[in-house]
Structure 1
């Protein structure tokens, strides 16, 4: 079926039928935005250190960021699959790289950016830090739970540096509080904010943008705002401006060179701009009150992003029938766009109709074969339907998805339920252990892994998976 709108056709096009490797990132989350977005984003370094970063998963947003980042990574000479992008549920504008393998990007980066090139510019700058080996390497053997606390330390170190730079003692003390505690990891410099390295990352970003044919104007817009914010109290400045200080003189030098690029006046493709606007609308709808959504996208706005935002807001606040009606209107405009079917399935699943959710999730997967997010959604709906006839198919879907997305807490939890209902107690215990591992709860994971291993045949893949969990050494309690 063809699209009824030319802009939709340019934007959506055929979806490639390849399984994404992008989903193989450590996360304490499920498969979709509303199931895992906390009620309030944690923004302070101290809270992040105690509770872990509020991370989110969303197939559509990840797909967009992958499209932005892939050519930049290639231009930087980074091997395919080396860098994984992790979404942070925070509306402030911030991004950082703790090592050579992960790039953390706040939802606020997308929500604040008016154009794709603004986000691409941030990715290019962070890639410059990775390619330039500006980062002190974190211990490769760090567990997921350790990594979460390390990220809090990273942000604390950034706040301390920013406080010292701006002369704001309260910020410096707050940052110091986040990185104290006696840990040897906390004594490392996870990120370097030396001006030379920031300038080097700037220049590298310009090279990458020129190679891939993207205007540097977006990056300049972001950095100009950062340079302007340096004039105000640091407590009102975006975290990105604190951890990546942009003095006016450095911005002027960057601007002079950027304007000489042959793509400086090039506009972002309409197709990419529409995809950006769609994701931006989606994120606002999932992270804001319905009233805020309607202020940003009033009924008189008939654009597709506006209708998308209002449909999601309705899904979260209105009766199911009203929400489905709005989503069906979207599907009528873009019948080949898989994420509209995902939203419909999610509305039905969360609205207490899991069996009805199977059809839209199956359609989303048919349009985007191999997508692990959709496979987990579909398996979830099948398990939740309480229809035994779906259990074997659900188990197959969830097992296949978890080979590609090994850190989906919800995926493992649903697989555990499916295994238990099929009479596979050992498989249920193993999946439960893996769910706890995805959450960062090693102690609980090992308890279930031990129980699973006792019922498994020695040397089998399942037995080995349980053994891998049991082989993780628990940290020793600190003596006082």
Structure 2
């Protein structure tokens, strides 16, 4: 029981993560999703918050989790995990910004470090309880008193619960502190807290039918209604409380919501949610994604019609390239990916797409450019397994077997398959010049010892 409590204490979350924990993230088991448009929107939401929170110098990376539940957490000061459900459920940017502000409060307040200390103290408390209980039981047994011995046993049985409750009480305090910090950040950036309050209203409705059976002292987070009540009066004091949503951010938010809905639901469900009678840009976007997923002949025409409505939107060209690539025409996909990259030349995900199309076009003349663009993408985003796999193919088709093996090894490291990565790195080393940069990179992989894994070099 205590071990579970300690594990939960080491992540600071808006909503208690049940199935998804930072430990899973370290083992590569979190179902992550990459989307340049959604990530860019979240960065724009977070930038002013990070600045006033004093964490912009070491800006946390925002990582999307492919989970439709409304949840977010920070495992450390460098990463903030946000479920796609946050973007899909939130009707306005302020709701997502409130989530980011809360998680930023945990980072700025160094709650994770202090929670680990509190977890250690809780464990000590439990151990002390067990020692005292054992002593009382022994004394009772020596005196022939079953009552004393029984009470000693009760102390032993209850010591873990006392330590856990102490830890959870501490964590509830940190959650309240993060809520207050979020209010401070929103006010400092001239934004309303109404979105954050709406989130707590939503959570309160979900908890309403189970709260009567819940022990409030056995929760790691304050009950949502209590959090709402505690914030409402303070939030209403702000001169920005009635501040309207930013129009541009609202437009982008609606597009991303529609896109995520279409990508995570069957095309028929998308057409019901966004019927053709709905002529709004988000609805057109959702239907274009649905058409791409259906692999129908009219998918590209649907996307071209979307592009005509906003010819400078790079994400529409990205969608067209993806439709062509997945439809078996990588040669035609090259042009729209180039177009997307022309609008956002530093976007690594566009670089990966273009490199992918260049490799898949199966033209040897494309391979040097593919290799160059994929290496550039990896410099900007070293965690792209797809970039490494396509780079390995590009090297292999150019007869560069050792380089292909090294790229494969790096990609396997990203995905967490350390044993396979070591095998490919060892094979690459045999053909690489000893002491060269590539040889040293392969050697680092061969020598790497993951947590709880014996070194089999």
Q: TM-score, normalised by structure 2?
A: 0.79
SS across alignment from 2:70 = coil
**Is the 1:84–1:103 contact (alpha carbons within 8 Å) kept by the matching residues of 2?**
yes
| Structure 1 residue 43 displacement after superposition | 8.2
Match of 1:96 among 73, 76, 91: 73
Q: Paired residue for 1:256, among 233, 237, 257? A: 233
Which of the pair has more CA radius of gyration? 2
| Rounded Cα–Cα distance in structure 2 between residues aligned with 1:448 and 1:342 | 32
Within-5 A mapping of 1:247-326: 247-319=224-296, 321-326=297-302
Q: Using the alignment, how far apart are the partners of 2:115 and 2:35 within structure 1?
A: 27
Which residue pairs with 2:57 in the alignment? 80
Looking at structure 2, the residues matched to 138 and 316 of structure 1 have their Cα atoms a distance apart, in angstroms, of 44
Q: Deviations over 1:167-223 (max 9, x none)?
A: xxxxxxxxxxxxxxxxxxxx9x99997221111101100111111111110001001
What is the Cα deviation at residue 460 of structure 1? 2.5
Alignment partner of 1:468 is 2:441: no
**How far did residue 467 of structure 1 move?**
1.9
Over 3 Å counting, the alpha-carbon distance change for 1:61 and 1:193 in structure 2 is farther
What does 1:325-340 align with in structure 2 at a 5 Å threshold?
325-340=301-316
| Aligned-pair CA distance for 1:476 | 4.1
1:335 match: secondary structure = coil
1:19-38 per-position Cα deviation (integer Å, ceiling 9, x unaligned): xxxxxxxxxxxxxxxxxxxx
1:389 aligns with 2:362: no
2 CA distance for matches of 1:259 and 1:295? Answer: 38
Is contact 1:135-1:192 (8 Å) kept?
A: no
The residue correspondences of 1:126-137 to structure 2 (distance < 5 A) are 126-136=103-113
- Give the deviation of 1:473 after TM superposition: 1.2
Match of 1:457 in 2: 433
Shift of 1:418: 0.2
- Inter-partner Cα distance in structure 1 for 2:114 and 2:410: 27
1:193/1:267 Cα in 2 relative to 1: closer, same or farther (>3 Å)? Answer: farther
2:74–2:81 CA contact under 8 A, matched in 1: yes
- 1:223 corresponds to 2:200: yes
1:422 maps to 2:403: no
Using the alignment, how far apart are the partners of 1:83 and 1:324 within structure 2? Answer: 37
> Higher RCO, 1 or 2 (CA under 8 Å, sep at least 6)?
1
Residue from 416, 434, 439 that aligns with 2:410: 434
Would you say the 8 A contact 1:88–1:106 is kept in 2? yes
Deviation at 1:231, TM superposition (A): 1.8
Partner in structure 1 of residue 135 of structure 2: none
Map of 2:337 onto structure 1 = 361
Match of 1:406 among 374, 378, 382: 382
Query: Residues of 2 paired with 1:277 and 1:225: CA distance?
Result: 19
The answer on whether the counterparts of 2:258 and 2:283 sit within 8 Å (CA) in structure 1 is yes
Please tell me whether the aligned partners of residues 308 and 330 of structure 1 are also in contact (alpha carbons under 8 angstroms): yes
Aligned residue for 2:111, secondary structure, equals coil
- Decide whether aligned partners of structure 1 residues 412 and 190 sit closer, same or farther in structure 2, where only a CA change above 3 A counts: farther
Task: Supply the distance in 2 between the matched residues of 1:396 and 1:128 (Cα, whole angstroms).
Answer: 40
Give me the TM-score of the superposition, normalised by structure 1.
0.75
| Other-structure match for 1:111 | 88
The alignment partner of 1:55 has SS state of: coil
Ranges in structure 2 where 5+ consecutive residues have no aligned partner = 1-16, 117-163
Q: Distance in 2 between matches of 1:440 and 1:193?
A: 34
- 1:372-399 CA distances to partner (integer Å, 9 max, x unpaired)? 1011100000000001110000000001
The SS at the match of 1:56 is coil
CA 1:51–1:436: 2 relative to 1, 3 Å: closer
Give aligned pairs, total.
Answer: 381
Deviation at 1:249, TM superposition (A): 3.3
Kindly state the Cα deviation for residue 243 of structure 1 after the two structures are TM-superposed. Answer: 6.1
